[in-house]
């Protein structure tokens, strides 16, 4: 069924793209393939004409020889021009399928699902499988033409003996064994996908300029080669065992077919010896038997291509189904007419990653008022980034819930936020958010586009320049050779490579493109900056958060490991082991003498030591 579905899908897409080219290539292919059994028929008449030696047969033989040449030329020419037509059509079909993959991989798939290995493995298999689109379209067309050719050849052979009809029937043995073998190889590909991705990761580490420098300094090249070879040997071992088993299965089918083929030739030789058939009949059977053998072999090979394409289509459908199989994030709701002041409320929120026994967040309850700048602090692994992803709606709490209330509705022309909400009796809407995470994207386009995609409705030079200025990167555009039109990055086009700090400011500017936000989340936005630059950046956000956008003040959540920055926030959340252990203002937390106060004094003493050593220091 997967073969039929793949063939039907490819032919349907080809029909939608260019039906004239599809029909032309199919017609030329069928015409060329029909010439092959006609060649065998002409050979039969030609042989009998030559061997009879009667007067007048010489002219007939010459005419038949010319006809043979015409048929052979037609066979080659039709195949050639058909190839020119369907090859380009196959590339267009591949573009269409790649667009489907792009939509499936970038649709509303939950972040947790994206992070699971089986999702990444399936995405890897589809990406590799779609490269066979042109070959699969060719296979779909050729299978149809070969079946027509096979029927024509069988009819000609049946005119000699009804037993010859059984020869094509042996094709079912080959098809069945081929299907069995393809199942074996497909399962081997699926088992090896994880190790194949790992090998690809080591290859990227060894060849990517961004990591090549570090690997050279740390002398990691030899270790990466060893690990790449180990992963790749694991892949080839799995694939080879699968191919070896598949080869044995196919060989068994070929042996059965060869025995049937030899039996058919023995029947013809017996008939010729008994004088019940002519030498021309023998030539016809030999030619048609060879053709049928090649046709059946070709059909089996082409069906294997279609089978693999069918699996790719099934994997692609699975990727596309993830949006439908996952519920919309239903924890962020905007309650109209609520008695609470505007803001975001978390009630006993816990979150656990799949497969882990310990939750990353435990019973977090807090109110984040609109217009407030909230600093989230804590040691590595305390749950800071997980909390920000829950706030943005990227993760749904395992336990508890989150409420959004009192924000004004988004403008009619406001672009949709990534966070989604279902229809609800409490007038659920979308939370307008903008986010900068630690692992921000390096979008290697023009600087205008790399920043401007943060709000495509405002992708104009004035808006992008304003965002760059607010991110502290206004000078960058003026330093580049073509200003905002300069390409940043060098991987895909000749451009200007940026430093880590510059890339972070570009990502920050992209986050600040959206002005009508209810929630602005900045996860270590100044990790590549010094303390003074981070202090200035935080002050800028604190003032911006007061005014917000869209007619109301936004909640600004700022994750930082520097207490010198967090102390300026209106509200500080102190996390430890996934728990919210302290919250309040800087002064309140110092007075309570808890974990925050200990961390503050520890950092303060470190700055004092640095200052006594003659190094510049920022006040904590």
Tell me: pLDDT of 181 over 70.
yes
What mean pLDDT do residues 308-329 have?
A: 71
What mean pLDDT do residues 179-200 have?
A: 85
Higher pLDDT, 1 or 237: 237
Q: What are phi and psi of 306, to 5 degrees?
A: -65, -35
What mean pLDDT do residues 364-376 have?
A: 89
Spatial contact of 242 and 165, defined as CB atoms under 8 Å apart: no
What mean pLDDT do residues 496-520 have?
A: 85
What mean pLDDT do residues 217-246 have?
A: 84
Higher pLDDT, 109 or 275: 275
Tell me: pLDDT of 214 over 70.
no
The percentage of the chain sitting over the pLDDT mark of 70, rounded to a whole number, equals: 78
Tell me: pLDDT of 620 over 60.
no
User: How far is 551 from 503, CA to CA, in rounded Å?
Assistant: 31
| H helix intervals, 513-585 | 531-547, 563-566
User: How far is 257 from 263, CA to CA, in rounded Å?
Assistant: 10
Closest among 74, 86, 79 to 29, alpha carbons compared: 79
User: How far is 381 from 367, CA to CA, in rounded Å?
Assistant: 23
The tokens 């630059």 sit on which residue? 533
Q: What are phi and psi of 410, to 5 degrees?
A: -70, 150
Closest among 176, 141, 131 to 309, alpha carbons compared: 131
Point out the least confidently predicted range of 46-50, 359-363, 390-394: 46-50
Q: What is the pLDDT of residues 581-616, one digit of tens each?
A: 999 998 999 888 888 888 888 876 655 544 444 444
Q: Looking at mean pLDDT, say which of 200-209, 422-431, 456-465, 523-532 comes out highest.
A: 456-465
Which residues are CB-neighbours of 212 under 8 A, at least 6 positions away? 206
Tell me: pLDDT of 151 over 90.
no
User: How far is 52 from 71, CA to CA, in rounded Å?
Assistant: 24
Higher pLDDT, 157 or 425: 157
Mean pLDDT of the chain: 77
Higher pLDDT, 342 or 463: 463
- The pair of structure tokens assigned to 62 is 């010459």
Closest among 526, 484, 521 to 504, alpha carbons compared: 526
Given this model, what pLDDT does residue 129 score? 87
Tell me: pLDDT of 523 over 80.
yes
What mean pLDDT do residues 327-331 have?
A: 38
Given this model, what pLDDT does residue 361 score? 92
Q: What are phi and psi of 195, to 5 degrees?
A: -65, -35
- The pair of structure tokens assigned to 157 is 């052979």
Tell me: pLDDT of 35 over 90.
no
Q: What is the pLDDT of residues 288-300, one digit of tens each?
A: 767 766 766 677 7
**DSSP per-residue letters across 165-224:** GHHHHTHHHHHHHHHHHHHHHHHHHHHHHHHHHHHHHHHHHHH-HHHHHHHHHTT-HHHH
What mean pLDDT do residues 338-353 have?
A: 79
The tokens 């690809």 sit on which residue? 200
Given this model, what pLDDT does residue 529 score? 61
Q: Are strands 343-351 and 361-369 parallel, antiparallel or unpaired?
A: antiparallel
Closest among 360, 424, 425 to 397, alpha carbons compared: 360
Would you place residue 553 in the very low, low, confident or very high pLDDT band (cuts 50, 70, 90)? low
Higher pLDDT, 242 or 36: 242
Spatial contact of 535 and 457, defined as CB atoms under 8 Å apart: no
User: How far is 246 from 83, CA to CA, in rounded Å?
Assistant: 30
Point out the least confidently predicted range of 223-227, 229-233, 529-533: 529-533
Given this model, what pLDDT does residue 398 score? 86
Three-class DSSP category at 375: strand
Given this model, what pLDDT does residue 161 score? 67
Given this model, what pLDDT does residue 365 score? 92
Point out the least confidently predicted range of 106-115, 240-249, 257-266, 495-504: 106-115
Domains belonging to the chain, first-starting first, are 2-325 (1.20.1560.10), 439-515 (3.40.50.300)
Given this model, what pLDDT does residue 122 score? 84
Q: What is the pLDDT of residues 371-427, one digit of tens each?
A: 888 999 988 888 888 898 888 878 888 888 888 766 554 444 444 433 333 333 333
């Amino acid at each position: 069924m997967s073969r039929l579905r793949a063939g039907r899908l490819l032919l349907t897409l080809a029909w939608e793209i260019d039906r004239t080219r599809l029909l032309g290539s199919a017609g030329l292919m069928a015409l060329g393939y029909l010439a092959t059994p006609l060649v065998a028929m002409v050979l039969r008449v030609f042989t009998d004409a030559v061997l009879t030696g009667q007067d007048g047969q010489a002219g007939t033989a010459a005419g038949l020889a010319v006809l043979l040449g015409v048929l052979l030329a037609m066979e080659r020419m039709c195949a050639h021009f058909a190839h020119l037509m369907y090859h380009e059509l196959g590339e267009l079909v591949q573009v269409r399928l790649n667009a489907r993959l792009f939509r499936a991989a970038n649709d509303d798939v939950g972040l947790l699902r994206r992070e699971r290995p089986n999702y990444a493995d399936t995405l890897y298999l589809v990406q590799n499988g779609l490269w066979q689109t042109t070959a699969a379209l060719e296979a779909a067309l050729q299978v149809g033409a070969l079946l027509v050719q096979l029927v024509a050849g069988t009819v000609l052979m049946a005119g000699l003996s009804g037993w010859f009809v059984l020869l094509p029937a042996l094709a079912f043995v080959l098809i069945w064994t081929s299907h069995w073998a393809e199942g074996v190889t497909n399962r081997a590909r699926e088992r090896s996908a994880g190790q194949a991705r790992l090998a690809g990761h080591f290859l990227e580490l060894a060849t990517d300029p961004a990591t090549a420098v570090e690997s050279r300094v740390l002398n990691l090249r030899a270790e990466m080669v060893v690990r790449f070879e180990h992963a790749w040997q694991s892949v080839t071992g799995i694939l080879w065992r699968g191919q070896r088993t598949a080869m044995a299965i196919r060989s068994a089918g070929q042996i059965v077919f060869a025995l049937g083929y030899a039996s058919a030739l023995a029947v013809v030789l017996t008939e010729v010896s008994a004088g019940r058939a002519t030498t021309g009949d023998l030539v016809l059977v030999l030619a048609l038997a060879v053709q049928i053998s090649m046709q059946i072999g070709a059909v089996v090979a082409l069906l294997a291509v279609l089978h693999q394409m069918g699996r790719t289509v099934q994997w692609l459908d699975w990727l596309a189904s993830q949006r439908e199989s996952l519920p919309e994030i239903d924890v962020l709701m905007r309650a109209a007419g609520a008695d609470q002041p505007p803001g975001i409320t978390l009630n006993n929120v816990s979150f656990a990653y799949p497969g882990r026994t310990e939750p990353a967040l435990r019973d977090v309850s807090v109110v984040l008022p609109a217009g407030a700048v909230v600093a989230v602090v804590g040691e590595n692994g305390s749950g800071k980034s997980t909390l920000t992803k829950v706030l943005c709606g990227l993760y749904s709490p395992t336990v508890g819930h989150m409420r959004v209330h009192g924000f004004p509705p988004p403008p009619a022309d406001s672009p949709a936020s990534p966070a989604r909400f279902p229809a609800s009796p409490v007038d659920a809407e979308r939370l307008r958010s903008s986010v900068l995470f630690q692992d921000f994207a390096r979008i290697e386009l023009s600087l205008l586009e790399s920043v401007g995609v943060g709000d495509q409705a405002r992708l104009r030079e004035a808006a992008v320049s304003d965002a760059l200025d607010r991110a502290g990167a206004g000078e960058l555009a003026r330093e580049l050779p073509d200003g905002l039109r300069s390409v940043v990055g060098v991987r895909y086009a000749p451009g200007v490579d940026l430093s880590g700090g510059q890339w972070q400011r570009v990502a920050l500017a992209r986050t600040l493109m959206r002005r009508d936000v209810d929630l602005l989340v900045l996860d270590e936005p100044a990790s590549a900056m010094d303390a003074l630059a981070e202090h200035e950046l935080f002050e800028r956000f604190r003032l911006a958060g007061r005014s917000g956008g869209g007619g109301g003040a936004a909640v600004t959540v700022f994750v930082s490991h520097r207490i010198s920055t967090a102390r300026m926030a209106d509200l500080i959340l102190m996390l430890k082991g996934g728990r919210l252990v302290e919250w309040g203002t800087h002064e309140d937390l110092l007075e309570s003498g808890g974990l925050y106060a200990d961390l503050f004094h520890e950092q303060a003493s470190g700055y004092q030591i640095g200052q006594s050593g003659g190094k510049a220091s920022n006040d904590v």
